[in-house]
Structure 1
Amino acid sequence: MKLIVQKFGGTSVSTKENRDLVAKKITSAKQEGYGVIVVVSAMGRKGDPYATDTLMSFVRNNSSEEVNPRELDLLLSCGEVISAVLLSEVLKTKGHEAIVLNGAQAGIITDDSFNNAKILKVKPEKIYNYLNDNKIVIVTGFQGVTEDGEMTTLGRGGSDTTAAALGVAVDAEFVDIYTDVDGIKTADPRIVKDAKTLDVITYTEICNLAHEGARVIHPRAVQIAMQKDIPLRIKCTFSDNPGTLVNNLGKRSNTVEIFGDRIITGIAHVANVTQLKISIDNQDRDKNTQLSLFNTLASNRISVDFININPDRIIFTVQENQTKNAIKLIENLGIKVNALVGCAKISSIGANMAGVPGVMASIVDSLTNEDIEILQTADSHTTIWCLVHGKDMENAVIALHNKFKLS
C-alpha cells in the first residue's frame, strides 16, 4: 500500500466549512489509492477557544506562579485532540471510517524536555494495523510520550514535526503540509505584492528560509524529512493549486525543472533584532573574555546570532525582547557594550550561489542604490545575511527581490 501523510494547520480545521474542505482533500487522496495518515493542529489561532496559545494564556493568567512544564503539556495537548475528534466525525458522516490516535497511541516517543520535546523514535505498528483495516488514521500533532509514559509537546511547529516523523517512519510517498497559503513564496507577500509561488525548492533552501523568518513550515520538520528524502509538498487547503514541492534534487515527479540560473531562490527577513558591539582594547584583551561572555549568555538561555569576532571587537545580535537582560549580564562581567536596537536581518537564499562571483556585489549595489545602510554582513554557501535598520527592512526586501528578478 502506498502511503501519504497530510498535515492540516489550525486555520484549516477552525470552522465546520473548513473541516469539510479538509475532508475533501483526505477522501480525494483515499480515492487515489493512498493509505492516509492525517495530522492535525489545534483549531484556530490565539484568541480562538481551543488554540494552543489561548490555552497557554488561560492557565498563565489564572496562576500567580510559573506553571509546571509537565502539567502545562497535559493542558496543551487538549487542542489537537478536539480537532482530531471533530474531523473524524466529519469523515464518518461522509461514509469513511476514521480512527483518532493521540501522540502516545501513534507511537511517537520523545525525550522528557517538556514544552519542547524532541522525537526520539516512532513505533508505527498500531498505525499500520488501522491502515490495513482500511481506516483513515488521524493523529494529534504537536505531542508525544516519553518512554515512561509522560505526555510531552514538541514546541513551535510541532505538528509539522509530527507529520514529517510519521512520513519517515512509514516511508510515505509524500508528506503534504496544508496551510492557508498556496506554497513557498519568493518573499513575504505582505511586503512584496508580486512575490512568486515557487514550484520546486530544495530541503536546504527551505530550511534556510524557515530559519530566517519564512514561517510556512518548521525547519525541524524539513530536517527530519531529509533523513529519508521524503518529498514534502506545501499546499493550500482552500485551493487546488499544486503548491511547492520540497525534495533533495529540485525535481517535480517525472519532470526535471531546469533552474541552474536561479542564483537566489528567495528573500527572508527577521524584524526586531538588536546589534550588540563590544570593543576590546589591549589591556582588556584576555583570552577568556570571549568564552566567559558567550558562556554567560548561553547559561541564561539567550540565543545569539550574526556573530563576528575580531581581535579588537565582538559583534553579534539578539532578539529585541532579550536586549535588556543581555546587556545586564554583559555589564556584570565588567564588559562595556553598545546596543543598536530596532534592526532587521535580511537573508538572500539560494542553493546555487556557491562559487558564483558577484552575488555580494549585487546585494550591496541594490541596497546602496536605495540609501539603505548595511550594518553587518555574513555569508554561507547558500545564504548571504545583511543587517539593516528596521525602518529600511521592507525597502531592503523589495530591492533585493527586484534585483534578483524573483517576481
Structure 2
Amino acid sequence: MDFIVQKFGGTSLVDEDMRLKVAAKVVEASQAGYFPVVVVSAIGRQGEPYATDTLLSYASSGNKELSPRESDLLMSCGEIISGVVLTATIQKLGYPAIFLTGAQAGIITDNNYTEARIIKVDPQCIVRHALEGKIVIVAGFQGITNEGEVTTLGRGGSDTTAAALGVALEATSVDIFTDVEGIMTADPRIVSDARPLETVTYNEICQLAQEGAKVIHPRAVEITMQKNIPLRIKCTFNDAPGTLVTSYGEVYKGSIDITRDRTITGITNISDVSRMKIIIKNCSDVPEFQKKIFNALAHAGISLDLINILSESILFTVKNSVVAKAVRVLEEINIYPEVLPDCAKVAVVGAGMTGVPGVMAKIVEALSNEKIQILQSADSYTTIWILVKRVEMEKCIQILHRQFRPGEYL
C-alpha cells in the first residue's frame, strides 16, 4: 500500500474556505493512487475559539491550576474538534472518510504528561480503514499510555505524530503543509530576498529547526530520518513544490564537484538570549570550580547554550527569561557572573561547509567590514554559531545572506 501522510497546521483549518483547500489536496493525493493519512493540529492560534492556548486560558481563568493529567485531557480537545470538522468537510464532497483520535490510531506514549514521547505505533486500525477505501484523519499532538491515559506530545507534537505514522506505515512521503512555501534561506521578515529551498538534508533541517526556524519540529525530522522517508514542507495555499528533506546523497546528487557546491543552505537565529561570563582567578582547583558551576545550574534545571570553557573564563548563554534565576543560583555558591543582556545567536547552516576552509574567515570579514562585533562563536560539521548584540542581529543576518547566497551552488 502506498501511504502518504499529510499534516495540516491550525492556520490551514481556520475556516470553511481553508478546509476546502485542505480537502482538495487530500482528495488529489487519493486520486493519484495514494492512501492519504491526514494529521491535523488544533484550529487557529491563541485567541481563536478552539486553539489549544485558548482552551487552556479558559480552564485556568480565576486562578485555577490544572494538573498535568487534566491539562492533557483538555489540550487534546483542539485536535479532535479540527479533525471531526475536516472529516465532515471531506465527507460532504462525496468521499468516505473517518476520524481517529491518537489513541484510536495506535499512538502509544510514555506517561510524561504534556511532554510525552511516542514509544510505539500500532497502525492496524489505520490500515484496516484505508483498505476499506476510507480517507483516514488522525488527531495530531496526542496519544495514550499503556494504562489508557490521554497524553500530549509537547511543542511540535502534530509534526511528531505525522513523522511517527509515516515510519510506522512506511509511507511514500510525509508532507507538512504550512502557510509558507517551504524552508526559507532566512526569515523573509528580515531578508527581503530570502527564497524557498528546493532540497535540504535531514541534518541541515534539524539544525535550522533547533536554531530558530519554526516550520517543522526537529524531532519529526529525526523520526523520518530513521527510515529515510522523504519529508516535504509545502504550502496549503498554492501548488508550489515546497522543500524536500532527504538524505545528503539525494540532495547533492549530480552536484558532487569540488569546484561547485552548496556551502551554505540557510541562516537562522534565536533572539532572546543573554551571555554569562565567569572569570576564573585565584582558583587552586579549576576542575572542581568548573564542576561546581555546571552542577549547580543543572540541578536548578537551567539549560545552557553556546558553552565555551577556557583556562581563564567560562562563557555560556541562557534564555532571557531565566537570567535572574541563573544569577541567583550562582551567587548562592559565591560565584558572581558578568551578564551581557539582549544578545542573539545567529546560525549559519550547511552540510556543504564540512571540510571547506575559509567559511569562518568570510563570516568575520563580512561582519568586521560593517563594524559588527562577534561576542562568541562555536561550530560543528554543518553549523557555525555566532553571538551578536540583539540590536545588530537583523543587520548581521542580512550581511551574511548577501555574503553566502544560501541555497545556491557556487
- The TM-score normalised by the length of structure 1 is 0.97
Distance 1:339 1:24, change over 3 A: same
| Kept in 2: contact 1:199–1:243 (CA 8 A) | yes
Could you tell me which runs of 5 or more consecutive residues in structure 1 were left unpaired when the two chains were aligned: none
Secondary structure, in 3 states, of the residue corresponding to 2:241? coil
Quote the residue 1:187 is aligned against: 186
Quote the residue 2:147 is aligned against: 148
Tell me the distance in 1 between the aligned counterparts of 2:392 and 2:283: 38
Quote the residue 2:19 is aligned against: 19
Tell me the distance in 2 between the aligned counterparts of 1:284 and 1:333: 16
Tell me the distance in 1 between the aligned counterparts of 2:210 and 2:404: 21
Secondary structure, in 3 states, of the residue corresponding to 2:353? coil
Quote the residue 1:281 is aligned against: 281
Quote the residue 1:160 is aligned against: 159
Secondary structure, in 3 states, of the residue corresponding to 2:352? coil
The count of corresponding residues between Structure 1 and Structure 2 is 404
Tell me the distance in 1 between the aligned counterparts of 2:333 and 2:388: 28
C-alpha displacement of 1:88:
0.3
Q: Which residue type is aligned with residue 112 of structure 1?
A: N
Could you tell me which runs of 5 or more consecutive residues in structure 2 were left unpaired when the two chains were aligned: none
Secondary structure, in 3 states, of the residue corresponding to 1:78? helix
Quote the residue 2:381 is aligned against: 381
C-alpha displacement of 1:369:
1.2
Quote the residue 2:228 is aligned against: 229
Q: Which residue type is aligned with residue 92 of structure 1?
A: Q
Secondary structure, in 3 states, of the residue corresponding to 2:347? strand
Q: Can you list the C-alpha shifts for 1:87-128, whole angstroms capped at 9, x where unaligned?
A: 000000001111111111111111111101111110111111
Quote the residue 1:325 is aligned against: 325
Quote the residue 1:202 is aligned against: 201
Tell me the distance in 2 between the aligned counterparts of 1:121 and 1:257: 38
Which sits farther off after the overlay, 326-335 or 172-181?
326-335
| Kept in 2: contact 1:200–1:250 (CA 8 A) | no
Quote the residue 1:359 is aligned against: 359
Secondary structure, in 3 states, of the residue corresponding to 2:63? coil
Secondary structure, in 3 states, of the residue corresponding to 2:344? strand
C-alpha displacement of 1:261:
1.2
Q: Which residue type is aligned with residue 124 of structure 1?
A: P
Q: Can you list the C-alpha shifts for 1:266-315, whole angstroms capped at 9, x where unaligned?
A: 00100011000001113364433222322222222211000001222110
Q: Which residue type is aligned with residue 205 of structure 2?
A: I
Quote the residue 2:307 is aligned against: 307
Tell me the distance in 2 between the aligned counterparts of 1:316 and 1:284: 22
Tell me the distance in 2 between the aligned counterparts of 1:205 and 1:194: 20
* Structure 1 segment 53-64 matched on structure 2, within 5 A: 53-64=53-64
Quote the residue 1:249 is aligned against: 248
Quote the residue 1:272 is aligned against: 272
Secondary structure, in 3 states, of the residue corresponding to 2:159? helix
- The TM-score normalised by the length of structure 2 is 0.96
C-alpha displacement of 1:64:
4.2
Quote the residue 1:173 is aligned against: 172
| Kept in 1: contact 2:305–2:317 (CA 8 A) | yes
C-alpha displacement of 1:336:
1.2
C-alpha displacement of 1:250:
5.5
Secondary structure, in 3 states, of the residue corresponding to 2:197? coil
Quote the residue 2:255 is aligned against: 258
Root mean square deviation of aligned Cα:
1.4
Tell me the distance in 2 between the aligned counterparts of 1:231 and 1:50: 31
C-alpha displacement of 1:60:
2.9
C-alpha displacement of 1:61:
3.0
| Kept in 2: contact 1:377–1:385 (CA 8 A) | yes
Quote the residue 1:35 is aligned against: 35
Q: Which residue type is aligned with residue 25 of structure 2?
A: K
Tell me the distance in 2 between the aligned counterparts of 1:24 and 1:228: 29
Which sits farther off after the overlay, 390-399 or 310-319?
310-319
Tell me the distance in 2 between the aligned counterparts of 1:257 and 1:221: 27
| Kept in 1: contact 2:264–2:405 (CA 8 A) | no
Q: Which residue type is aligned with residue 255 of structure 2?
A: I
| Kept in 2: contact 1:201–1:250 (CA 8 A) | no
Q: Which residue type is aligned with residue 359 of structure 2?
A: V
Distance 1:19 1:284, change over 3 A: farther
| Kept in 2: contact 1:197–1:244 (CA 8 A) | yes
